[in-house]
Structure 1
C-alpha cells in the first residue's frame, strides 16, 4: 500500500502514541540536521543512514515520512520558523526605536539565529536548492514571506516619516538576495568580516534603499 506505514496506537511506557510519534519525528529531524546540514549532506544520505543516526528503524522512518525529501522539507520550514520567531521577538523589543536601531536589532536577531548553528545556514541556502520543483516552490514561498516582512517594516517606516514613500516590493526582493548571499559567503569563510560587521553592512544597504540620495524627510 502506498504512503506511510501506520504507527501503533495506545499507551506504552507511560506515553501516548501521539507522544511517542512526536519523539520519533523529533529524533529523525535532529539526525537530519546533522546529516543534511553537515556531512554527508542531503543528496548523499540514505534512509538507512538517517534511521541509524536517529537510533530508530527504517520501518519507523516510514511511519513518519514518505521520503527523505519530506524530511528536508520539514527541516527547512523548521529552520526558517526559528529565524522568523527570533526576528519577530526582536521587532517587538525594538518597537519605538529609530529606524537604524530597529533595523540593526532585527538583522542581528536574524543573522545571529542562523549563524548560531552553521547547519541551519547550509539547510537554508545550500541543501534546499534544486532538489525538486516542490521544494523550489517551498523555498520561494518562504523567501516571499521574508520579502513581505521587509515591505511591512518599510511601509511602517514611511508612515513614521523615516523612509521615502514608494512601492518597496522589488527592492525588498533584491535585498533579500543580498542578505542570503552575504550570510552564506560569510558562513563559508569567503568574507573576511565579523558577524557584527556583516549585520552593519546589511543595515547600511537597507537604509540606502529606504533613504535614497536627495530624499528630504521634511517633504
Structure 2
C-alpha cells in the first residue's frame, strides 16, 4: 500500500465529501479507542475488525489511513489533545491564584480528563510504547509538551517570588514521569486512594520541588 485510496468527491445525502470524510475518520477513531484501548488491544486488532467496529468497509479505511499504526498515531494525538485542552481551560480560570491552588487546578483538570476513561490511559501509557521508532518519537514529543508546560509554570512562579530560581528541565521531566506512573497505577486499581488524594500527593510533590526546605521567599 503506497498511499490511501482516493476518496469520493461531491455531495451525497446533503453532505459534502469533506463532511463525509470527517465523519468516517471520527468513526474509525472511536472504534480504535474501543479496540486499542480495551480488548483486544492495538497489536491484536486487524483492519477488518476495526472497520467492522466502525460500521465501515476496509476500502473506506484505506481512503483515510495507510496502516493501523496511522490510526494509533492519530488516536494518541487526540487523547493527548483532550487532556491538554482540559488543562489550558482550567488554567484560564486560575489567574491570580497562589501557587499551591494553581497547581491543584492544573493537576485536577489533567487527572480527571485522563482517568475519565480507562481506555485513554491505555492509549497514552501502554499501547503506544514500543510500537515503532516513529511512534516512540511522537510519544516523547508529546511528553515534551507537558514538560514544557511544567517548566513554564515553574518559571512563572519564580518570577512571582513563589518558587526557588533554578533550571527546572530535569526536575520537570522526572515529575511528569511520576504523574504518568501514579495515574496509571491508580487507574489500574493498584493504588488505594481517591483521585483527590492522588492529586493532593502530586501537588505536594511539585511544591516540594519548587520550594526546597533551604529556600526562603524574597522579602516583600
Query: 3-state SS of the aligned residue for 1:8?
Result: coil
5+ residue gaps, structure 2, are none
Superposition pairs for residues 78-157 of structure 1, below 5 Å?
78-157=78-157
1:206 matched residue in structure 2: 206
What is the alpha-carbon distance in structure 2 between the residues aligned to residue 152 and residue 60 of structure 1?
42
1:216 matched residue in structure 2: 216
Query: 3-state SS of the aligned residue for 1:93?
Result: coil
TM-score by length of 2: 0.98
Give the drift of 1:218.
2.3
What is the alpha-carbon distance in structure 1 between the residues aligned to residue 218 and residue 154 of structure 2?
17
What is the alpha-carbon distance in structure 1 between the residues aligned to residue 77 and residue 14 of structure 2?
31
5+ residue gaps, structure 1, are none
1:17 matched residue in structure 2: 17
What is the alpha-carbon distance in structure 1 between the residues aligned to residue 80 and residue 215 of structure 2?
34
1:53 matched residue in structure 2: 53
Query: 3-state SS of the aligned residue for 2:92?
Result: helix
What is the alpha-carbon distance in structure 1 between the residues aligned to residue 211 and residue 52 of structure 2?
53
Query: 3-state SS of the aligned residue for 2:182?
Result: helix
Give the drift of 1:155.
0.3
Superposition pairs for residues 178-217 of structure 1, below 5 Å?
178-217=178-217
What is the alpha-carbon distance in structure 2 between the residues aligned to residue 195 and residue 39 of structure 1?
25
1:44 matched residue in structure 2: 44
Paired residues, number:
219
Give the drift of 1:2.
1.8
Give the drift of 1:96.
0.4
Give the drift of 1:53.
0.1
Give the drift of 1:214.
1.2
What is the alpha-carbon distance in structure 1 between the residues aligned to residue 160 and residue 23 of structure 2?
46
Q: What per-residue deviation string (whole Å, max 9, x for no partner) do you get for residues 50-88 of structure 1?
A: 000000000000000000000000000000000000001
Q: What per-residue deviation string (whole Å, max 9, x for no partner) do you get for residues 146-194 of structure 1?
A: 0000000000000000000000010000000000000000111111111
Superposition pairs for residues 140-179 of structure 1, below 5 Å?
140-179=140-179
Give the drift of 1:117.
0.8
4+ long deviations beyond 6 Å? none
TM-score by length of 1: 0.99
What is the alpha-carbon distance in structure 2 between the residues aligned to residue 68 and residue 98 of structure 1?
45
Query: 3-state SS of the aligned residue for 1:130?
Result: coil
